Structure 1
Amino acid sequence: MANTSSSLSQLALQKFKKNFWGVLSFWLIVAIGGISIFAYVLAPDDSQFANQMHLAIHSERPGFKVTMLKIPSEMNANQDWFSKVFFGIKTADTEVPISKYSIQENQLVYTEYAADGLQGSEKSLDLQVFPKQDYEKYISEKTFLFGTDKYGRDLLSRVLIGSRISFFIGFVAVFISLVIGIFMGSLAGYFGGKIDAIIMWIINVTWSIPTLLLVIAITLALGKGFWQVFIAVGLTMWVEVARVVRGQIISAKEMQYVTAARALGYDNYRIITKHILPNIMAPIIVISAANFAAAILIESGLSFLGIGAQPPMASWGAMIKDHYNYIILGKPYLALIPGFCIMLLVMAFMLIGNALRDALDVKG
């Protein structure tokens, strides 16, 4: 039995490897996952939430360059490397875009950057502010590859860090939906009768409520925030898993191996977990891949409505909300870039779901 299971798994893996779009989607998801985990290492703006604002350079085009003066502060928080890598630097340093600077009598005199050919104000700074008066280390040219948003923040950094919410909401929401869905579906399918009727009534009532409306209600009940959205999305996606598990168990419990397990005196818990569930995992895996994509879209919709991840936390849906009106103002990339990222990630999960369906199809 173990050899048969192993050979079937190897056959499914070989079929999956032959699916070009499935393999491409798999590596794309792995790449986005790596980017989301190490976003602060890759982001040009490694401050917490990539929230360094420079209103003087707001809504600049991709590839925009400017000279940046960093004014150090004595209020920098002591952080360990783990916190810096995974949660960003809690810096109190001030970044100022400048157009020119000079040294005059132990003073750094600089002119602030101003767009549209305007002249920025001139200010001075004592060189004692810089450690060892080495001011040159704090002046550098900065390139914004994706441009800047309406607050002058680096759009590339916001996109990289925003990938965390869209990526990890899939895992959390699918995990919650699997736990509840498999439990409820197993009870309904295996025991039947009144238990099945009650659970199916709960499923049908939950199913009849529009998903986005139900998520909004749960989110408002739990409060606005990061984890609240994850839980809310997960609590609305279990019904589809439960229906699939119920249907599969109704068919599987009449199989000979289940009858043999009962004859050997195994309890219901062992029969369900050790014998039935391992044999019906294929459709559950496929539906989980689809639920990943659905969770990402739901979270984006919530963030667009303003009840998802709250500012200053970066989120692709919130970025579209902040900049959708720029589509008709000649700077559509501010909304199209995060929109393209959502489309790419959702498409990757849908394609890998289709590839898994083909690979796990025993009739193929």
Structure 2
Amino acid sequence: MAQTPNSLTQLALQKFKKNFWGVLSLSFIVICGLVALFAYAIAPDDSQNANQMHLSIHSQPPGFQVQMLTIPAPDVVDQSAFSALFFGKKNGDTEIPIASYRFDDIFLEYVPYTGADALGMPKRLELDGVDDYNAFAKAYLKTKKFHLGTDKYGRDLLSRMLVGARISFVIGFVAVFISLLIGVLLGAFAGYFGGKVDAAIMWLINVTWSIPTLLLVIAITLALGKGFWQVFIAVGLTMWVEVARVVRGQVLGVKQMQYVTAARALGYTDFRIIRRHILPNVMAPLIVISAANFAGAILIESGLSFLGIGAQPPMPSWGAMIKDHYSYIILGKPYLAVIPGLAIMLLVMAFMLVGNALRDALDVKA
């Protein structure tokens, strides 16, 4: 006989598993997270920020292929395997797209790629100390395929998309962490102590709530300066208000419960009562609101990057990719803006569906 789950956590987990869209969305988020974490191990261009430019092959369609001549850097860059795996290779090699090549005595004569129907001027590269031309061709002359095409600077769009996923995930985690840290603290104090403490915190919440989110983020970003971490802090500082209101409302109800009264009678401190007896009982709505805030943080960061005050070049960001290529929508190459836009839409929708599934699973009245 199967045992009936006897805890709210097990019941919620079973209900969540029965939600097809919730499980599918969570699986998609986990896969995207793993791809973002190991982006440089997967990306065809594993240089830092996937920033290997080839202006002669800019704005090429998905599936484009070209022969690539790699000229090694004269000095070997000292870099650990860990750094290369998670932060990209400090690549000093020069890559040149070529249309054709041939070996001529001690020279490699090649024609640079200048277009499908155009022929460039032949150039020569001296192969000093090279004895085996076949081995040289195998090592430094390869056909490179761009599965999602190239952007307007000739960079591999797939690699930029994979590395750019990191921005979305990091902004979500940092912003949600900051919003929870501030919102839970202020909301719990406001709901538990009431009186002047509640009035002061609610005044701060209402003032912050009245300012448009994007405008407030822009103001904080301009005050802190443009940069990677400044954007994360700015987004987090604008998302705590909703958390604080939810926590305050939950605490107002929970603090009237008999176990809280019993804890006061036993002489426990207010801090212990809040931490050990109240907050654990208001976690369900916090989990749901955190999923929604994660999606909101991704959208806000994309908007900031589109405005040019988010992650700064050459760091890849999906919002910045849309900004760089939105004009290509009317120039016959809409995929350059549609691909990052679709990625943002799918990731945000996945977080919203997970939030809805968690809300249904944690609803004790259902």
Q: Provide TM-score, normalisation by structure 2.
A: 0.97
2:184 corresponds in structure 1 to 182
1:128-167 pair list within 5 angstroms: 128=128, 134-136=135-137, 137-167=139-169
Q: Tell me if structure 2 keeps the 8 A contact 1:188–1:196.
A: yes
Asked if 1:126 corresponds to 2:126, the answer is yes
2:294 corresponds in structure 1 to 292
Question: Could you tell me how far 1:118 is from its partner in structure 2?
Answer: 1.1
2:206 corresponds in structure 1 to 204
Q: Tell me if structure 2 keeps the 8 A contact 1:16–1:355.
A: yes
Q: Tell me if structure 2 keeps the 8 A contact 1:214–1:236.
A: yes
1:66 corresponds in structure 2 to 66
**Residues of 2 paired with 1:235 and 1:118: CA distance?**
53
Cα distance change, pair 304–131 in 1 and its aligned pair in 2 (3 A): farther
Q: In structure 1, what residue type is equivalent to 2:70? A: K
2:239 corresponds in structure 1 to 237
Asked if 1:16 corresponds to 2:30, the answer is no
Cα distance change, pair 327–296 in 1 and its aligned pair in 2 (3 A): same
Structure 1 gap ranges (5+)? none
1:304 corresponds in structure 2 to 306
Q: For residues 132-171 of structure 1, what are the alpha-carbon distances to aligned partners after superposition, in whole Å with 9 as ceiling and x for unaligned?
A: 7642110000000000000000000000000000111101
**Residues of 2 paired with 1:355 and 1:131: CA distance?**
64
**Residues of 1 paired with 2:310 and 2:257: CA distance?**
45
Q: For residues 245-288 of structure 1, what are the alpha-carbon distances to aligned partners after superposition, in whole Å with 9 as ceiling and x for unaligned?
A: 00100111001110011111111011001000001100011000
1:85-96 pair list within 5 angstroms: 85-96=85-96
2:223 pairs, out of 221, 224, 233, with 221
Q: In structure 2, what residue type is equivalent to 1:140? A: K
CA RMSD in angstroms comes to: 1.4
Q: For residues 312-351 of structure 1, what are the alpha-carbon distances to aligned partners after superposition, in whole Å with 9 as ceiling and x for unaligned?
A: 0000000000000000100000000000000010000000
Secondary structure at 2:274's aligned position in 1? helix
2:355 pairs, out of 347, 353, 362, with 353
Asked if 1:48 corresponds to 2:74, the answer is no
**Residues of 2 paired with 1:264 and 1:254: CA distance?**
16
Q: In percent, how many aligned pairs have the same letter?
A: 71
Cα distance change, pair 129–62 in 1 and its aligned pair in 2 (3 A): farther
Q: Which moved more, 1:181-190 or 1:125-134?
A: 125-134
2:114 corresponds in structure 1 to 114
Question: Could you tell me how far 1:121 is from its partner in structure 2?
Answer: 2.0
Cα distance change, pair 223–263 in 1 and its aligned pair in 2 (3 A): same
**Residues of 2 paired with 1:198 and 1:101: CA distance?**
74
Cα distance change, pair 296–95 in 1 and its aligned pair in 2 (3 A): same
Secondary structure at 1:280's aligned position in 2? helix
Structure 2 gap ranges (5+)? none
Q: In structure 1, what residue type is equivalent to 2:273? A: I
Q: Provide TM-score, normalisation by structure 1.
A: 0.97
Aligned residues: 361
1:76 corresponds in structure 2 to 76
Cα distance change, pair 130–53 in 1 and its aligned pair in 2 (3 A): farther
Q: For residues 211-233 of structure 1, what are the alpha-carbon distances to aligned partners after superposition, in whole Å with 9 as ceiling and x for unaligned?
A: 00000011111111111111100
Q: Tell me if structure 2 keeps the 8 A contact 1:76–1:90.
A: no
1:276 corresponds in structure 2 to 278
Cα distance change, pair 102–132 in 1 and its aligned pair in 2 (3 A): closer
Q: In structure 1, what residue type is equivalent to 2:46? A: D
